[in-house]
Each structure stands twice: as C-alpha cells, then as structure tokens.
Amino acid sequence: MFISVKHDISNPQEFWSIAEKAIPNLPAGVKLHSSFPTSDMGTAFCLWEVESLDGFKDYLESATGHVSKNNYYVIDEKVAIGLPK
C-alpha cells in the first residue's frame, strides 16, 4: 500500500540527520519513493510504500516522533495519478 506522510518538523537538523542515516537501512517491506521538504526544512511530504500501516507507524514514530508530528494518509491507488509502478 502507498502512504503519504506529512511531517511537521520541530527540529529540522535532527530530523534530517535521522532520515539520512535511516533511509539506507529501512526495514523489509518499507520503501521511500519521494520526499518533498519545504525550503525551511520544517515540513516534508513523503510517499512511502509499506506492507502494514500500523507497523510502519510504529517504526516511524519511534524514529522521528520526538522531532516531528507525523500525519498518515492511505493513498487510493485506483484514482491516484503518478504512483510508482
């Protein structure tokens, strides 16, 4: 399933440091397709492909929950435009 996450980042330096280290070592069944940070690095919109929403939330919250409020949105793949194949 595809998930969009809006990250409202309270500590951009720490958040992006965590992301840089985590992305090469993501758990099985988790793939980051795109990340779109704002120019001030305080907000990001990311497109993830995951096997389980609950498992993914547990992973992401444990990694970034102390520096980001993360809002999760399940993508409707039937009507979405531009999803990876």
Average pLDDT over residues 59-63: 96
Q: Is 8 within the bounds of a domain?
A: yes
- The DSSP code for 66 is T
User: What is the total count of domains within the chain?
Assistant: 1
User: What's the domain range around 67?
Assistant: 2-74
Residues 6+ apart with CB under 8 A from 59: 27, 30
Per-residue confidence at 71, pLDDT binned at 50, 70, 90? very high
Does 85 have pLDDT greater than 90?
no
Q: Which comes out higher in pLDDT, residue 84 or 8?
A: 8
Average pLDDT over residues 25-51: 97
Q: Is 70 within the bounds of a domain?
A: yes
pLDDT of 7 reads 98
